[in-house]
Amino acid sequence: MSGLYDSFSRPISYLRISVTDRCNLRCIYCMPTDGVRLVRHEDILTYEEIFAVAQTAADLGITKVRLTGGEPLIRLGLPQLIRMLGKIDAIDDISLTTNGTLLNRYAVELKSSGLNRVNVSLDTLRHDRFKFITRLGDNLDGVLEGIEMAKTVGLSPVKINMVVMAGINDDEVAEFAAKTIGGGWHVRFIELMPVSQGIVSSRHFVPANEIKKRVETLGELVPCPAIVGNGPSRYFRFPNATGTVGFITPISEHFCFQCNRLRLTADGKLLPCLLSQEEIDVKRALRQNMSTEELRELFKEAIARKPLGHHLTQGYLRLGRPFCRVGG
């Protein structure tokens, strides 16, 4: 077998890179109510350091990277990092996960720097709710403009990720699904992971089979292949739709058996799993001028420490790092 495999024979081909722990939103399911302690600027990896990690990852077999955060677009000069990553031959896909608030401003530059596509997190189409969920001002129109701009410049497919929460936004499921017919959107419904330390808890959980029933009030869903990427979503479409409907089920039907990823945090830790407490410090290695070979060994260690699966159920889990500091 060539390529990179973990101890359970899962191929590892995907690195999610968090470029900042800072965010310009305070989403109720993601950020603890009392905020998070921010990493000192000097402890955040520089673009050169991120590049060095990505190069090592690529040498070992990683072919896809996704930039995330925090909010990745608030880190200055992100297009520069994208251009650097684009020079790594083995990396054939560079994508970005964003809350979309700054997408309108940066879409053209992101495209020209070599970004392939974007996922936009959007949990409501209502102005008052946008404010409530993000705990900041209403910037819904800005996000919608960003989505259109991303499509216009060809950062496609643009996928819209909605975290469904009972009593908060679950009554909008059909409205989002309708956008796959009328607006050609690719919408993915994500099951809430009860990990936040804020006002959202397991009582807000809606299982994907329930979400799917609500989508099906609009018509019959037909299974379809993923449009691009090899993530955990299961895809469907309405017969007359140009867009697709996806379901991501970390709780009701977890997809750990097909996990193909590692995560790099903004402060330079490799995480074998989103939900475990394990961290491998690569920043120290980078700053102590360890050899490329030693950096590779740290990567291999992170892969060897990937657990078979997570144990998160509908109960509450207190994470060492909230999602906004991992990269979601």
* E runs forming strands in the chain: 14-18, 64-68, 93-98, 117-121, 159-164, 186-191, 222-224, 234-237, 244-248, 261-264, 269-271, 280-281
Member of 95, 97, 104, 260 binding ligand SAM (CB under 6 A) = 97
- Binding part of the chain for ligand SAM, among 107-115, 205-213, 303-311, 320-328 by CB under 6 A, reads 320-328
Nearer to ligand SAM, 55 or 95 (CB): 95
Nearest to 245 by CA among 274, 270, 273, 211: 211
Rounded to 10 deg, the angle between the 140-153 and 103-113 helix axes is 20
What is the helix (H) or strand (E) element at residue 110, kind and residue range? helix 103-113
Say whether residue 98 binds ligand SAM (CB under 6 A): yes
Nearer to ligand SAM, 15 or 285 (CB): 15
Say whether residue 39 binds ligand SAM (CB under 6 A): no
Nearer to ligand SAM, 98 or 265 (CB): 98
Cα distances from 142 to residues 7, 146, 159, 194, 267, in angstroms, run 44, 6, 16, 28, 29
- Minimum distance from CB of 128 to ligand SAM (Å)? 19
Residues 180-199 touching ligand SAM, rule: CB under 6 A, are 190, 192-193, 195-196
Nearer to ligand SAM, 206 or 221 (CB): 206
Member of 17, 19, 30, 143 binding ligand SAM (CB under 6 A) = 30
Q: Number of residues interacting with ligand SAM: please give it, by CB under 6 A.
A: 21
Say whether residue 36 binds ligand SAM (CB under 6 A): no
CA 231 to chain centre: 10
* Residue 90 neighbours by CB under 8 Å, 6+ apart: 58, 59, 61, 62, 63
Member of 13, 20, 56, 68 binding ligand SAM (CB under 6 A) = 68
Contact set with ligand SAM (CB under 6 A): 23, 29-30, 68-69, 71, 97-99, 121, 161, 163, 190, 192-193, 195-196, 323-324, 327-328
